[in-house]
Amino acid sequence: MSEDGSAQSLAERVLSGENRELQLLIARGMFPLPVEMLIPLQIRLSNISDEEVAAAAVESLGNLDPDIAVAVITESDEVEVVSYFASRTDQPSLAETVIQHRLVSPQVLSEMAVVLSPELQEIFLLRQDAILEDPTILERLEENPELSSYAERRIREYREHLLPRQRGAASEEAAKVELEEPTDEEIEEAITWARKEPSKGEMDEVTGLSEAQIRTLPIPVRLKLSRGASRTLRNILVKDKNPMVAVSVMTGNSMGDGEVEQIASSKVVAEEVLEAIARSRQWGRRYSIVHTLVKNPRMPAGLAARLVPRLGVRDLRVLSRDRNVSEVVRSTATRLYRIKSK
């Protein structure tokens, strides 16, 4: 009989109840089985009518090392196994694994949404596929008493840009007008008006405007100036409060690794700028830039955690003790350090 057949045969024997002593041994984790076989059996035993066996299974699963649970969930193709650990949101690494698993259902995600920590909310909002399938997930997330300002903004972005909605012709036309690229004459006129404002901060040698004056320019003008900008102007506009302008600096200019690394370490740039750097084929492959992004507390935790596996053992060790980064990033670094340092 094959290994799969043996496992199925054992599972059928255990669940049939013909050998209660065997059920108790497995429920208590005292029967010699690989964890990938033991844990699914314990999950099933936790739901049987025999209260003693069920309680023993629940207790064993509750005491399970999160790292072991993460490994089992990651490799599992059983919905029941993935869903069982959805309530363990007190263990960030475990909850993160459940959220990211391909088999987790929108219903389970909805149940998790109400109790997720701000760090886990960021990872949760990366599940674009599930949110598009069932947008009511966002409503459940809004019921979370710890809903972060970042999550609120991302929810708005989903509703404005990704989720189906009815827009009138007038509003669509208004949006086109707002994003219409200004002419050279309009840019010159805007710069002339900006010069009348008080001068403060760094000066851009090309426009002759100070940082404060540049901030008064209309968004379409700042967008146009962000492309092919001087080093000084890039430094000003990459910190723009409008994410479109700030990200345009990263995508519309040729920049060296040193300049990008400096931006990646900034605590004042928009999160969208850090995301653009991380997702860039060019910059996302530079070790020093990736390392800098992961250490930046403004970096969205979910994306930062995805970059952690690229770090070396020494940097993983330091990161695992860094209290300036999120718990999700620290726990990921700790787990990978243990694996890579063996």
Give the residue-averaged pLDDT of 95-101. 86
pLDDT at 189: 92
140-190 tens-digit pLDDT: 999 999 999 888 988 988 887 767 653 444 344 434 434 577 888 989 999
155: CB partners within 8 A, 6+ apart: 125, 138, 141, 142
Q: How far is CA 60 from CA 45, 51, 54, 79, 83, in A?
A: 11, 14, 10, 20, 17
Cα–Cα distance for residue pair 33/22, rounded to 1 Å: 12
Spans of all domains in the chain? 3-162, 182-244, 255-342
| Torsion sign across C-alpha atoms 252, 214, 232, 285 | negative
Helices (H), 117-165: 118-124, 128-133, 136-142, 149-157
When pLDDT is averaged across residues 9-30 and rounded to a whole number, the result is 83
Q: What is the pLDDT of residue 50?
A: 87
| pLDDT computed for residue 112 by the predictor | 92
Task: Indicate the DSSP class of residue 161.
Answer: I
pTM exceeds 0.75, yes or no: no
- Residue 179 confidence (pLDDT): 53
Confidence of residue 56 (pLDDT cuts 50, 70, 90): very high
> With pLDDT > 90 as the criterion, what percentage of the chain qualifies?
32
Q: Could you tell me if 260 and 283 are in contact, meaning their C-beta atoms sit under 8 angstroms apart? A: yes
pLDDT of 73 over the 90 cut: no
User: What's the pLDDT at 325?
Assistant: 87
The vertex-278 CA angle with 272 and 284, nearest 5°, equals 155
Q: What is the pLDDT of residue 8?
A: 63
How high is the pLDDT of residue 234? Answer: 94
Instruction: Give the pLDDT confidence score for residue 7 in this predicted structure.
Output: 58
Is the predicted pLDDT of residue 139 greater than 90, yes or no? Answer: yes
Question: Any idea what the Cα angle at residue 18 is, between residues 17 and 24, rounded to 5°?
Answer: 55
